[in-house]
Structures are given as structure tokens and as C-alpha cells.
């Protein structure tokens, strides 16, 4: 059955696939995850604050980002970012932002909206008594949030955060719309150049699966180490 398949194309293109493609995929995933989590936590805290301006802004931001398809947001940001940059920096002309920078900012801001909802659920699941106990020993709002609420919220939401990261890892393949080459894009290019579509796409599937499987193993170990003993 596999007689007509030429799997050598895979070995020949391995350096290109991983040095060019996978590097971008992993970099984008890492930056968007870390940046998105930090920003998302901030947005979650803003949304839960008693300051109406802050909470309304945060809610609007999250609702907007979660209403639009990612591929559309990628395009929108790519075309709008020069003008936004001009407005922020008060420059004379639209600021030149390359596709690479644009996608990093886009993905971070997009993921932040999703992570914000995850962290908001985590923060709200912490019993009010915990917050009161923190205040009772003399911690202020910032200290209670940092030392009592967020550590527990993060540990509780780790499985969901990991799921979101997996989705993000897969979504990075959308960057092809801006002609950026991620791992899947690199596999596609080789497939089309060498006329070996089946082999390359099969290989890409195996690689994505292997990475997700390995990641879930490490996350389970991490979870065991930091999860709260009840």
C-alpha cells in the first residue's frame, strides 16, 4: 500500500522543517502563552475590580476578542497596526510593522482574552474566607491577590490553561494567511515543491500529535507537584 510513497522527502527536509518552521511555531506559542497569561490575569483582575471604568473596559475587550475568528483578527491587526502605532507613538506616518511582529502581538492579545476568562473563573472559585483570612493578618488587596488568591487560582485552573495552550499551539498554523512559514506551512511548501503531499501532511500530523502528547505528560507531572493537597 505504501509502495508509491517516498518518505525520504521527510528526512531530506527535516532541517528546514524544524529550524525554520518549528522554531517559529514554538516561539509564537511560548510568547503568546506567557504574555497572554500575564496580560489575561491582569484583565481578569480589572474585570473583577470595583472600578466601573476598569471593569467595563476589561469586559468589552474580552467580549470583542472572543467574538471574532482568529484569522480575521490576524488580518485586522496586520492592516490596522501601523495606524495604531502611529497614534500611540504620535509619529508622522504609519509605523512599519512587519508580519512577524504583528502576529506576535495579535496572538498575545487574542489569547489574553481567553486566559482572562479562565483566570477569572479561577479567582472567583477561591472562597471568600480565604480573602478575609488574608486581610485579617494585615495583607492589603495587592498582597492578598498575589500571595493567597492567584497562586491558588492558577493551580486550580492549570488543566484548563493547558488545554487553551494546546489550542493556541494548533492555531499558530493560521499564520499562513500572512505568508509566514510555521511548521505546517513549511511542511506544505515542501509537499508542493516535491509533489509529496500525503507523506508531508502525515508527517506533520505525527509531529503535532507527538508534541501534544509529550506536553500533556509533563503538565500532568507539574500538576502533581504543585496541586493543592486537600
Residues that bind other proteins in the complex, under the rule CB under 8 A: 127, 129-130, 132-140, 143, 147-148, 151-152, 155, 228-230
- Residue 51: CB minimum distance to other proteins, A: 16
**Given the complex with other proteins, which of 59 and 131 has the nearer CB atom?**
131
**Given the complex with other proteins, which of 19 and 221 has the nearer CB atom?**
221
**Given the complex with other proteins, which of 130 and 163 has the nearer CB atom?**
130
**Given the complex with other proteins, which of 15 and 127 has the nearer CB atom?**
127
- Residue 52: CB minimum distance to other proteins, A: 19
Distance CA 218, CA 209 (A): 14
Residue of 98, 111, 105, 110 lying closest to 179 (CA atoms): 98
**Given the complex with other proteins, which of 86 and 152 has the nearer CB atom?**
152
- Residue 127: CB minimum distance to other proteins, A: 8
What are the residues whose beta carbons fall under 8 Å from the beta carbon of 23, sequence distance 6 or more?
none
Cβ atoms of 36 and 107 within 8 Å: the answer is: yes
Can you state the angle between helices 99-124 and 150-171, rounded to 10 degrees? 140
Give me the DSSP letters along 129-146.
Answer: HHHHHHHHTT--HHHHII
Cβ atoms of 81 and 105 within 8 Å: the answer is: yes
- Residue 143: CB minimum distance to other proteins, A: 6
Q: Nearest 5°: phi and psi at 181?
A: -100, 110
- Residue 152: CB minimum distance to other proteins, A: 5
Distance CA 163, CA 211 (A): 13
Amino acid at each position: 500500500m505504501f509502495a508509491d510513497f517516498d518518505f525520504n522527502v521527510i528526512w531530506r527536509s527535516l532541517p528546514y522543517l524544524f529550524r525554520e518552521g518549528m522554531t517559529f511555531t514554538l516561539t509564537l506559542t511560548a510568547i503568546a502563552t506567557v504574555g497572554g497569561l500575564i496580560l489575561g490575569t491582569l484583565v481578569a483582575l480589572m474585570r473583577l475590580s470595583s472600578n466601573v471604568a476598569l471593569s467595563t473596559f476589561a469586559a468589552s475587550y474580552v467580549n470583542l476578542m472572543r467574538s471574532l475568528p482568529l484569522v480575521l483578527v490576524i488580518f485586522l491587526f496586520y492592516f490596522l497596526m501601523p495606524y495604531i502605532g502611529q497614534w500611540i507613538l504620535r509619529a508622522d506616518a504609519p509605523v512599519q510593522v512587519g508580519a512577524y511582529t504583528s502576529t506576535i502581538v495579535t496572538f498575545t492579545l487574542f489569547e489574553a482574552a481567553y486566559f482572562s476568562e479562565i483566570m477569572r473563573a479561577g479567582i472567583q472559585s477561591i472562597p471568600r474566607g480565604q480573602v478575609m483570612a488574608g486581610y485579617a493578618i494585615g495583607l492589603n488587596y495587592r498582597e492578598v491577590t498575589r500571595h493567597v488568591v492567584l497562586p491558588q487560582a492558577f493551580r486550580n485552573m492549570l488543566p484548563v490553561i493547558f488545554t487553551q495552550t494546546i489550542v493556541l499551539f494548533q492555531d499558530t498554523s493560521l499564520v499562513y494567511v500572512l505568508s509566514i512559514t510555521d511548521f505546517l506551512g513549511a511542511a506544505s511548501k515542501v509537499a508542493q515543491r516535491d509533489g509529496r503531499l500525503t507523506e508531508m501532511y502525515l508527517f506533520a500530523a505525527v509531529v503535532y500529535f507527538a508534541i501534544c502528547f509529550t506536553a500533556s505528560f509533563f503538565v500532568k507531572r507539574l500538576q502533581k507537584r504543585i496541586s493543592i493537597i486537600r
